[in-house]
Amino acid sequence: MYEKRKQKIASSAAQYLEAGETPGAAAICQPQNQAAQAVWGKKPYEQYLVTATERNLYVFLISPFKNEVLAKNREIRPLETVDARMDGPRAVIGEFHLAPMPAEKHLPGLVEFVHQRHA
């Protein structure tokens, strides 16, 4: 179920990539501070699709109602300017501090993909 949802969301993002780019590794995440709030009983309300191409890192806000990305809330960073590392189960990709959703298993692969292409 989760992978099917992620595929639907990722396919909605493909139209907002720069010309000639194909999405690579992708993960659904939430802001790190939001994940910490979930421990104390507050439900997370923002989710992001984070994906990388050979040239850029994209962070899209996901619409909670449509299971697709919101084009107006798109962040793009050239991969050569973005450092990426895992911090325990969380990721630090550039200025983004992200926690994976509970069923997400691809965040370490995304971080490795970005890290390999960092100049």
Separation of alpha carbons 56 and 59, rounded Å: 10
Q: Which tens digits make up the pLDDT trace of 66-115?
A: 889 998 889 999 999 999 999 999 999 989 999 988 889 999 999 999 99
Q: Is the pLDDT of residue 49 over 80?
A: yes
CA 29 and chain centroid, separation: 5
Q: What is the pTM of this model?
A: 0.86
Mean pLDDT for 20-40 is 81
pLDDT at 23: 85
Domain boundaries, the chain: 2-117
Of the candidate CATH numbers 2.60.40, 2.30.29, 1.10.3470, 2.60.120, the domain formed by 2-117 belongs to 2.30.29
Separation of alpha carbons 89 and 102, rounded Å: 10
Mean pLDDT for 35-48 is 70
Q: Is the pLDDT of residue 44 over 60?
A: no
